[in-house]
A and B are shown apart, each in its own frame.
Chain A
Amino acid sequence: MTRQGASDAARGVRPSWPIARKLTLFLAAIVALLALVSWGMVTSFAREAAGRTQDNILAASATSIAETLRSEGGQVRLELPYAAFSMLGAISEDRVFYRVAAGDDVLTGYADLEGPDVTPGEPSFGTLPYRDMNVRAVSVMRVILADGEAVPITVTLAQTRGGVRGIAAGLSRQAAYLSVAVFLLAVGMSAFAVRSSLRPLNTMAQHVSTRGPSDLRPLRRRGPPELMPLVRALNRLMDRLGGSIKRSEDFIAEAAHRVRTPLAIVRTQAEIALHSVEEEAQKQTLRRVIRAVDDSSRSASQLLDHAMVSFRADDLARERVDLPALAEGVADALRPTAEMKDIDIALAISPAEVEGDAILIQNALRNVLDNAIKYSPAETIVRVSVGNGGGEARIAVSDEGPGFGEEPAAHLMERFKRGDKVEGVVGSGLGLTIAEEALSAHGGRLELGRNVEGGGACVSLILPAA
């Protein structure tokens, strides 16, 4: 985790929330909201419907009671219809209270039951407290003629609301189950949908990441139109990248030409001057000039090599490379240089083959061998051995020079990578870096060690055998 994080951070990629998770959560939140809203609506509908049912029954009961009201001999009479109460008990076990009153005169029922205000003709409803609880009450008013006098009679019927609550709660509970089920289903489906819609993106990413870093061919994948801008942008980027790589190569070549030609003139002129001047101090100066020019030229070469290695390593060729032949060619090319110091290049060769980019391996070996020659004392032997063993091909270059001292190899690599100057081994660092990069591009490595026989350095180029 931390390694991954560190490497991602190093590449400047700081992942935010994954799109898939974000989308799924977002959809889940929406679904949850919808489920909640629909549950709330169903609950309130259920409550309202149950309430309305109760109201209707109450109203029907109250009305049927009111219809029995009549006047007999100046007396208001009524009969509570059995059905009116039977009806109230039909759907729930709610407590029932009633009151029939002519004005404030209670004719029958619960004297303390106060119904909602009412006008003749229309039942009026109300939820009101009665005996420590809330009851739903309906009042119906009917005017009866008694003794030629219009007497308004109010029939109030009240019922507790347990049944309504029970029905509403039952419906609400069922709606809740349904909402939860719908939520789970929708979340599952949205996760699936998100994943399948992101699949083209993933396959594209995979496609891009599995190709070589310098494989700058345009993407030719079919995909949803939403991805097309990304594909086009990627292709444009790769196009520009390709162009700029080409331009930098040209630029490097051109720069090399421009730098080296004047260097060559300076060097040649300095050498000519060296022959004509007599004074030792001037000679020293000229020698220093020549040496400086040589250092510059060497650095330029190495920088170019380095650029070339980085470039080729990105898009590694995979061909069979015959290491002995390659080593012989490199040794031949460097032999004139070696001979100038009476250094022999001794080749000890046994068959070895690897798969890779011959030019890169050649370059690696040339840099290593060049170093060895450069820092070997005159009249010594640089040994190049090529061999195969343990699944690895190995080219070892050992010299009788000053070696790398006691420093651990890894440490030394670190130093030359930083460009530090190893005492007496000026400029060797970049050459080794080039070699190391060329090798690691092949899955190989560079080993720095000591030449056991001659006491100098031993640099091994190790590659996976083909």
Chain B
Amino acid sequence: MRFLLVEDNAELADSVVQRLGLDGHAVDHAATLSDAEAHLEVADYDLILLDVMLPDGDGRDFLARSRDRINTPVIVLTARSQISDRVGALDQGADDYITKPFDFSELEARCRAVLRRRGGLARNEITLGAAVFEPNAGTLRHGDAVMDLRNREIRLLEVFARNPGQILSKSQLLDRLFSQDADVTENAIEVYVGRLRKKLDGAGVRIETVRGLGYRMSL
């Protein structure tokens, strides 16, 4: 996905760009509203992450001004958690809001939710042997059978699918899969891996256990 991050704090912006990059997203950074306008002139974005307190104005005012021109979904980043702020942001055209500091898993979930709501999520199919995995729809087709995958299953399978043949440690998977607040143990990974193995059964794709190291998907 391609993001436009409008955030005046350079350090935070760098971190976010870097972090989203790790998940394979492309992020442009604008430090001011005028900067953001310039970016929007020349490029199309899947999603705008908009800070509210900016040097050249309030992000919400910008939103209200440009809502009719720009159809891109907007998630407002705010440090203020007052509901009145949130409501204000939503009223003025934001699709969702997230409070700083945010969990990137949650941000991703929210992005997905917003995009799904807006119908702006691209069709995206990954062929895994005889099965076809659609992460955005959350389905796995295998022959005539269409299986709905749960959120965590989708994300785990996505990780494996994007890194075929690579050994992924339980710890790595844990960090990619779960937000950090829940006390999830590595046993949970075994449970989800077990489920995926069952669902991929017969598709010619296997998730192997590499003793002592982790798991590897082999086609």
Contacts and interface: CB of A to CB of B under 8 A. Distances in A.
Interface of A: 253, 256-261, 263-269, 271-272, 274-275, 280, 283, 287, 290-291, 293-294, 297, 300-301, 304-305, 308, 333, 335-337, 339-342, 359, 362-363, 366, 374, 378-379
A263 B18 contact: no
Contacts of A267: 101-103
Nearest to B111: A336
Contacts of A268: 12, 15-16, 18-19, 101, 104
Contact of B106 (A257, A272, A290, A336): A336
Nearest to B182: A341
B151 interface: yes
Given A336-B110, A339-B109, A297 B101 contact: yes
- When A and B form their complex, which 4 residue pairs have the shortest distance between CB atoms, in order from nearest? A264-B101, A268-B15, A257-B79, A260-B79
B83 A308 contact: yes
B171 interface: yes
Contacts of B112: 336
B104 A271 contact: yes
Interface in B131-156: 150-152
Contacts of A293: 101
Contact of A340 (B18, B53, B105): B105
A304 B81 contact: yes
Given A272-B18, A294-B180, A342-B150, A336 B109 contact: yes
Contacts of A342: 150-152
Given A260-B99, A287-B180, A359 B12 contact: no
A271 B176 CA distance: 10
A297 to B, nearest CB: 5
Nearest to B10: A265
A256 B52 CA distance: 13
Contacts, number: 119
A266 B11 CA distance: 10
Interface in B8-46: 9, 11-12, 15-16, 18-19, 22
B162 interface: no
Contacts of A374: 181
Contacts of B99: 260, 297, 301
17 contacts: A260-B99, A260-B100, A264-B12, A265-B11, A267-B102, A268-B12, A268-B101, A280-B171, A283-B175, A294-B180, A294-B181, A305-B83, A308-B83, A335-B113, A339-B109, A339-B151, A340-B106
Given A261-B9, A263-B101, A283-B171, 13 more contacts: A257-B53, A261-B12, A271-B19, A294-B103, A301-B81, A301-B99, A305-B82, A305-B83, A336-B110, A340-B105, A340-B151, A340-B179, A342-B151
A290 B15 CA distance: 14
A339 to B, nearest CB: 5
A173 B35 CA distance: 103
Contact of A265 (B9, B82, B151): B9
Interface residues of B, number: 41
B188 interface: yes
A253 B84 CA distance: 12
A327 to B, nearest CB: 15
Given A263-B101, A308-B82, A336-B109, A290 B171 contact: no
B181 A337 contact: no
A266 B80 CA distance: 18
Contacts of B19: 268, 271-272
Contacts of A259: 79
Interface in B76-133: 79-84, 87, 96, 99-106, 109-110, 112-113
Interface in B153-190: 171, 175, 178-182, 184, 188
A301 to B, nearest CB: 4
A462 B207 CA distance: 50
Contact of A333 (B11, B96, B184): B96
A271 B81 CA distance: 22
A272 B180 contact: no
A17 B34 CA distance: 68
Nearest to B176: A275
Contacts of A379: 150
Contacts of A257: 53, 79-80
Nearest to A291: B180
Nearest to B105: A340
Chain A CB within 10 A, most for which of B19, B101, B109, B179: B101
Contact of A261 (B79, B109, B113): B79
